[in-house]
A = this chain, B = another copy of it.
Amino acid sequence: MVKFSYSTRSATNFFFFFFLFLLSLTSVPVAEARVRYYKWEVKYEFKSPDCYKKLVITINGRSPGPTIIAQQNDTIIVEVKNSLLTENLAIHWHGIRQIGTPWFDGTEGVTQCPIVPGDTFKYQFVVDRPGTYLYHAHYGMQREAGLYGSIRVSPPAGQPEPFAYNYDRSIILTDWYHNSTYEQSVGLSSIPFVWVGEPHSLLIQGKGKFNCSTPGIPAGVCNASNPECSPYSMTIVPGKTYRLRVSSLTALSALSFQIEGHNMTVVEADGHYVQPFVVQNLFIYSGETYSVLIKADQDPSRNYWMTTNVVSRKPSTPPGQAIFNYYPNHPQRFPPTTSPSGPAWDDVEPRFAQSLAIKAHKDHIHKPPQIAHRSIVMLNTQNRVNGFTRWSVNNVSFNLPHTPYLISLKYKLNHVFSQVPPPDGYDFKTYNIYNVSDNPNATTSNAVYRLAFNTTVDVILQNANSMNNNTSETHPWHLHGHDFWVLGYGKGKFDIYNDQNKFNLVDPIMKNTVPVHPYGWTALRFQADNPGAWLFHCHIESHFFMGMGVVFEEGIDKVGKLPSSIMGCGESKGFNRP
């Protein structure tokens, strides 16, 4: 039987649900799957998430937006109304594979046309695996303007998880700029390149603290006593165990997350159960989600700091702070201590070690295919292309077309994007990954990788030096439409003859987002078994904007009839006749 719940207060939905209810009476019970129905209005509002007032993109007045709470196999319906004034919109459901619904991945230019102001777009998809997921804007740089939120999917009733806890909580970690996405993006695409700089603050569940005494702040803009920027406080009951779902949607920053005086046991990553291991601080990269267990076993007469610190880049952003509030202390009572300072930003070893520690839970191993049909090595570099500063894969910097690939591929509009296949590798033998990148032959392209359907594909992400001396950044790569096995991490240049022998084919974790560490490599394997067009990209907002991504096509002939709602832009004008 289909059951219904809804999270909108609009009375106008009553009849819709009544209608569905009538429908449900006529059907025979088959499975416990609900329809979770949301009505969202997206607009700009002035908010002060870190005490500094600026325009924020909100959902129903909030940023982060409402948390979607569902059970495995539920159908999520989100009707998004674009109430921005002149700006379009698209929302991606991060970690949801969209099996059978590749058109609702929400990736502008890849799976849909943008939603224009005044329009309402209906996303509808099934959440087919329990775990911790996200949603966020996937158009321009709107994600970092505040359009994001959590998705929490529980297993079916009666299906046990390999760990126990009393309460379940979600937080999203972000970094925050006072500059608008317009200001940032114009700088990034200017000659000379104008870099926005480090974020102004770190937010925990949408709250942070900027120092309003910083010189040069216009009058009336920053108010340290604004209740909007009181620290996020998570109230816990002494003695209980908490499952904390921690996600990162930073624009730029790699983070270390820590709860003063409490260890954390990592039990889930990107929707997959992890063989538990204990950390004092959790390294987390943009696009990743983790569940950690925390026992409230410390002195309950006080509160504790929850902190985030920037790692991998020299931090000039102050730490993010929230309060781990032992009930019945006041939720806003500051801990008597100074917050933990976090690990050294430039020590890559513990980050490497954490990556290596994440393995599939021994009772939940998805065995990977033992061989791959195709192996693509992707050299990550920064380049100068026609005077612009860009990020590239194998010296090809990605340009998003304005006709979504899903439409152009399905309708064989071959003139819409380059038909020259992007390269499967780079010049392994002579390229020195420790040198300042000097790739005069770098180009831009909107070509896609076409994968044979149902084959197994390896991707080796190869990091290198950027255009600055002695600098190699951490890039978190996110794959749409799939989970991949993480077969290994290494330092230096991937050895295509020998390093494959070191792959973990026994108990690799599956993920959808994974870092490639400075001067290192990361090896992934996935099955090209989800018909559609799928973005694979660095989840740093500015890096993808500057070309750090690719698109995979697989089984396009198996994609069902595209809904007219995704069409209407570029060469798909008029394809959206109702």
Which of A's residues lie within 8 Å of B, judged by CB? 44-46, 55, 85-88, 113-114, 116-119, 139-142, 180-183, 185-187, 190, 194, 215-219, 401-402, 564, 567-570, 573-578
Contact = CB atoms under 8 A, between A and B. Distances in A.
14 contacts: A46-B183, A46-B194, A85-B141, A85-B182, A86-B181, A114-B116, A118-B402, A216-B219, A217-B218, A568-B568, A568-B569, A568-B574, A573-B578, A577-B577
A187 to B, nearest CB: 8
A578 B576 CA distance: 12
Contact of A186 (B45, B113, B182): B45
Given A55-B180, A55-B182, A216-B217, 20 more contacts: A44-B182, A45-B186, A46-B183, A46-B186, A46-B190, A86-B114, A86-B139, A87-B88, A116-B116, A117-B402, A118-B570, A216-B218, A568-B573, A568-B576, A573-B576, A573-B577, A574-B574, A574-B575, A575-B577, A577-B577
A53 to B, nearest CB: 10
A495 B116 CA distance: 46
A251 to B, nearest CB: 15
Contacts of A401: 118
A194 B46 CA distance: 11
Assembly stoichiometry (copies): 2
Contacts of A577: 573-575, 577
A13 B573 CA distance: 24
A140 B86 contact: yes
Nearest to A55: B182
A182 B145 CA distance: 13
A8 to B, nearest CB: 20
Given A46-B186, A183-B55, A86 B85 contact: no
A115 to B, nearest CB: 10
A573 B576 CA distance: 6
A9 B147 CA distance: 40
B569 A573 contact: no
A432 B304 CA distance: 64
Contact of A215 (B117, B183, B219): B219
A146 B196 CA distance: 23
Contacts of A142: 86
Given A182-B55, A182-B180, A85 B574 contact: no
Contacts of A564: 573-574
A328 to B, nearest CB: 37
Closest 7 CB pairs of A and B: A574-B577, A118-B402, A86-B140, A574-B576, A216-B219, A85-B140, A216-B218
Nearest to A86: B140
A55 B139 CA distance: 20
Contacts of A116: 88, 113-114, 116, 402, 569
A354 to B, nearest CB: 35
Nearest to A142: B86
A109 to B, nearest CB: 9
Contacts of A182: 44, 55, 85, 180
Contacts of A118: 401-402, 569-570
A476 B142 CA distance: 36
Contacts of A217: 216, 218
Contacts of A117: 88, 114, 402
Given A87-B87, A88-B86, A88-B88, A119 B218 contact: no
A81 to B, nearest CB: 11
Contact of A119 (B85, B86, B194, B569): B569
A401 B219 CA distance: 37
Contacts of A568: 568-569, 573-574, 576
A47 to B, nearest CB: 11
B119 A570 contact: yes
A340 to B, nearest CB: 32
Contacts of A186: 44-46, 55
Contacts of A194: 46
A191 to B, nearest CB: 11
A183 B183 CA distance: 14
A402 B116 CA distance: 9
Contacts of A569: 116, 118-119, 568
B570 A574 contact: no
A119 B402 CA distance: 8
Nearest to A569: B116
Contacts of A575: 574, 577
